[in-house]
Structure 1
Amino acid sequence: MALYSQTVDFLSESFSNHKTQIPLLAVTGASFTLGLFARSLFTGGGTRPTILASPRSTLLTGISEAENGQLPLPTDVLPGARDVATPYGSIRVYEWGPEHGAKVLLVHGITTPCIALGGLAHALVDRGCRVMLFDLFGRGYSDSPADLPQDSRLFTTQILLALASSPLSWTGAESGKFCLTGYSLGGGIAAAFAAYFPQLISSLVLLAPAGLVRDSQVSFQSRLLYERGFVPENVLGYLVGRRLRAGPLVAPKSKNHKLNASDALTEELPSQNAAEIQLLSREYPHVNVPAAVAWQVNNHRGFVHAFMSSMRHGPILRQRQWNTWTRLGEYLTVQNSVSSGEDKRPSDNKVHILCGNNDAIIVKSEIVPDATAALGGNVVFKFYEAGHEFPSTKYEEVASYIFDIL
């Protein structure tokens, strides 16, 4: 996951090498001038599309089974694949496991398609669970609505659409509720969903969640350059796309490093050694997160838009999400004060937050006090010796933790 971005990084890296640092005023002034000049160059005539289609319909029509199997992200990379037609575009959903098993819905992060949680999903099915995953809008094989902000409202709607597409009941009175597990941006999405639909959920597990990132982590450059209208959208989209296609930065971070959009591409990716040993797709053992993300960046027309919109509007920053988290905390406090005899259905009235001790995005010294305060103490923490990418590398340990609370 990555957090609200320093677009100045994109601008400076697009027009200079790594040894050259452009002063902020020069960058912003040049960007403004460039924006005025290039508006006509980057803005086409006619009506803009409201839906940006995924590679499933723009690239892979008529592809052979053999060709599909060689893709970094095969169309049937996980079992139980289905494409759900919605007013917001098609959504790719995967669902499998015992029909009567405990249900777990997994929500992935900002840059990775849901295959990043494939190892975790398989490990949960091995333990008898029914799992569902879906690609967030603009990732993997889900289309991207181009005319709506990627905020908690849109993501909540997407979760409900995915649940409604199941042949099984995930929300009915006899469904047994479901465990909602969100990773990174997906953690912020899951917390926002739980704040408004807590009655649907048996347990809430947040893996290195966004939602409470402190405002102090966001640089002035990020605020200025990501304000809508400062730089024309198509110009900014071009520069962001160019930066993302260049791949993740691996330069060491200084002690006072400010989180930027390059971190979005870096921190969700496992190290090369970890990528080689992870087994995310049992049908296609060659699939790994770095290759899948690189293919997605280069082939999904809606990815750059989805990335930028999620950075702008998604449930990431503490100042925007505090009231949502406190709403959830207040609900849990009330539930914990009510006699358990009034409701015999299984329920877990704690939020479980799992993180890596070496996470440069979700910092232990910040998430613990902030989540504890926002949730009114209704939270349990677990830390692993890992970084932000741990759900795609330590999926057996995470699956065991989730299964124990089901």
Structure 2
Amino acid sequence: MAWISQTAGLLSDSVAHHRPHFPLVAVTGISFTLGFVLSSLLQKRVAERGVFSSPRDRVLLQSDSETSTLPLPPDVLPGARDVPSPYGSIRVYEWGPEDGHKVLFVHGITTPCIALGGVAHALADRGCRVMLFDLFGRGYSDCPTDLPQDDRLFSTQILLALNSSPIAWTGQGSGNFSLVGYSLGGGIAAAFASAFPHLLSSLVLLAPAGLIRDSQISFSSRLLYSNGLVPESVLGYLVGRRLRAGPLIKPKHTKLSASDALAEELPSQPAANTTNTQILSRAYPHITVPETVRWQVNNHAGFVHAFMSSMRHGPILQQRQWASWSRLGEFLSSQRTLPPAEQRARGLPSDKVLILCGSNDVLILKDELCEDAATALKGNVQFEYIDAGHEFPSTKYEEVAQYVWDLLQ
């Protein structure tokens, strides 16, 4: 096992530091041999279970004093509930005035929904009713193993979360809600909006995936995430090892590697070293995104599977998502011809789409995103820029909340 670890470590470090000259093909060949038995065991485990359980049941057996010190306590945000579904249990948080403007948040590929806790608290302070949930395989949501993590599964999860609320988020008399998506969640939100624009009053995309150009994808990422090329057990080990390493400081580049997707949602500096300490959970101010992700890697049996499935099937790449973004753009253009009152009655108004970009984001390149999003959405979008990297929703949440609030008015 030691030499398996050493080989995997070399490959992980190669990906993390963007060294394309490393013989990845040779390592892949070795991986077939090393991972054969482990891969077979993993596939058998998946087939027998159907769903990877979250850490929820195990954590709830602990005392309050024990759970309060966890990097992700089960009551990390207000209004926690577990929603049963055919795909496994879904963790949902909801709070704020029942008659406030409704805002639903969708988080990114790596972090659970606590990464958007600061923005949610700030909008609840302004009188909004907010809802967040952990995507399948993250936080305290289970992970189905027999379905691809694509926009269809995620749209279904959104509808399940909405339907679990004690107040109406959809249907006659409920009014429409605002949808805020970050990173992978931005791609999910755009895909959902293209299918259900009549449910929305506004759409906010924070450094969204969905329009990443194919030319940005590095060779190492293509190799690592090709179905069946690397045994799942070996790839899972590499992904877990990279996530435990935390954020890396690296130069700007033009290629998206696996380590970028893993690490860019993690703040490059701990909150203690920043000018203003970021509080994502008011009940547990000690919570940080990097520690939460490390805990998630070690304690959620389905997280690595969920990450890899999202990388392969999720709404990330332009070649898979251009049609849904264009469909949304066509709807928005048709809205523009109607009076404002009719636009609101019909769904998402043409002037209520906002995209926030990090000026220093090396994962979602703002110039390419703005060009492509403006084209796909037929110009029905407003762009704003925040002086930060990809992680800005968790480090500059007050600024993000104010942009969202201004759009709601």
Contact 1:120 1:396 in 2 (8 A): yes
Higher mean alpha-carbon deviation, 118-127 vs 222-231, is at 222-231
Are residues 1:315 and 2:315 paired? yes
Q: Indicate the residue corresponding to 1:242 in structure 2.
A: 241
Provide the C-alpha distance between the structure 1 equivalents of 2:161 and 2:42, rounded to a whole number of angstroms. 35
- Measured after TM superposition, the shift of residue 359 of structure 1 is 0.5
Instruction: Give the number of aligned pairs.
Output: 396
RMSD: 2.5
Provide the C-alpha distance between the structure 2 equivalents of 1:75 and 1:393, rounded to a whole number of angstroms. 22
- Measured after TM superposition, the shift of residue 24 of structure 1 is 3.6
Say which structure, 1 or 2, has more relative contact order (CA 8 Å, 6+ apart): 1
Higher mean alpha-carbon deviation, 280-289 vs 182-191, is at 280-289
Extract unaligned runs of 5+ from structure 2: 1-6
Provide the C-alpha distance between the structure 2 equivalents of 1:262 and 1:79, rounded to a whole number of angstroms. 32
Q: Indicate the residue corresponding to 1:340 in structure 2.
A: 340
Equivalent residue runs for 1:3-402 within 5 Å: 12-13=11-12, 22-35=22-35, 39-40=39-40, 44=44, 47-57=47-57, 59-250=58-249, 252-253=250-251, 256=253, 258-274=255-271, 277-342=277-342, 345=345, 347-350=348-351, 351-402=353-404
Provide the C-alpha distance between the structure 1 equivalents of 2:388 and 2:318, rounded to a whole number of angstroms. 24
- Measured after TM superposition, the shift of residue 272 of structure 1 is 2.6
Q: TM-score, normalised by structure 1?
A: 0.91
Residue type of the alignment partner of 1:261? A
Q: Structure 1 residues 93, 344: CA separation in 2 closer, same or farther (over 3 Å shift)? A: closer
- Measured after TM superposition, the shift of residue 353 of structure 1 is 0.2
Higher mean alpha-carbon deviation, 8-17 vs 370-379, is at 8-17
Q: Secondary structure at the match of 2:104?
A: strand
Higher mean alpha-carbon deviation, 216-225 vs 113-122, is at 216-225
Contact 1:98 1:129 in 2 (8 A): yes
Q: Structure 1 residues 39, 78: CA separation in 2 closer, same or farther (over 3 Å shift)? A: closer
Q: Structure 1 residues 199, 46: CA separation in 2 closer, same or farther (over 3 Å shift)? A: closer
Higher mean alpha-carbon deviation, 288-297 vs 378-387, is at 288-297
Provide the C-alpha distance between the structure 2 equivalents of 1:94 and 1:172, rounded to a whole number of angstroms. 21
Provide the C-alpha distance between the structure 2 equivalents of 1:42 and 1:110, rounded to a whole number of angstroms. 22
- Measured after TM superposition, the shift of residue 16 of structure 1 is 11
- Measured after TM superposition, the shift of residue 66 of structure 1 is 1.0
Residue type of the alignment partner of 2:112? P
Provide the C-alpha distance between the structure 2 equivalents of 1:320 and 1:339, rounded to a whole number of angstroms. 33
Q: What per-residue deviation string (whole Å, max 9, x for no partner) do you get for residues 203-250 of structure 1?
A: 000000000001001123322332212222233223322332333333
Higher mean alpha-carbon deviation, 332-341 vs 30-39, is at 30-39
Q: What per-residue deviation string (whole Å, max 9, x for no partner) do you get for residues 101-159 of structure 1?
A: 00000111111110111110110010000000000001010000011110000000000
Q: Secondary structure at the match of 2:59?
A: coil
Q: Secondary structure at the match of 1:396?
A: helix
Q: Structure 1 residues 234, 358: CA separation in 2 closer, same or farther (over 3 Å shift)? A: same
Provide the C-alpha distance between the structure 2 equivalents of 1:396 and 1:20, rounded to a whole number of angstroms. 39
Residue type of the alignment partner of 1:302? G
Q: Secondary structure at the match of 2:259?
A: helix
Provide the C-alpha distance between the structure 1 equivalents of 2:134 and 2:124, rounded to a whole number of angstroms. 19
Provide the C-alpha distance between the structure 1 equivalents of 2:65 and 2:36, rounded to a whole number of angstroms. 48
Q: Structure 1 residues 306, 347: CA separation in 2 closer, same or farther (over 3 Å shift)? A: closer
- Measured after TM superposition, the shift of residue 39 of structure 1 is 4.7
Extract unaligned runs of 5+ from structure 1: 1-7
Contact 2:96 2:127 in 1 (8 A): yes
Contact 1:275 1:289 in 2 (8 A): no
Contact 2:335 2:349 in 1 (8 A): no
Higher mean alpha-carbon deviation, 340-349 vs 317-326, is at 340-349
Provide the C-alpha distance between the structure 2 equivalents of 1:206 and 1:17, rounded to a whole number of angstroms. 27
Provide the C-alpha distance between the structure 1 equivalents of 2:362 and 2:71, rounded to a whole number of angstroms. 27
Contact 1:14 1:239 in 2 (8 A): no
Q: Secondary structure at the match of 1:167?
A: coil
Q: TM-score, normalised by structure 2?
A: 0.90
Q: Secondary structure at the match of 1:355?
A: strand
Q: Structure 1 residues 256, 247: CA separation in 2 closer, same or farther (over 3 Å shift)? A: closer
Provide the C-alpha distance between the structure 1 equivalents of 2:121 and 2:224, rounded to a whole number of angstroms. 41
Residue type of the alignment partner of 1:194? A
Q: Structure 1 residues 75, 194: CA separation in 2 closer, same or farther (over 3 Å shift)? A: same
Provide the C-alpha distance between the structure 2 equivalents of 1:32 and 1:364, rounded to a whole number of angstroms. 38
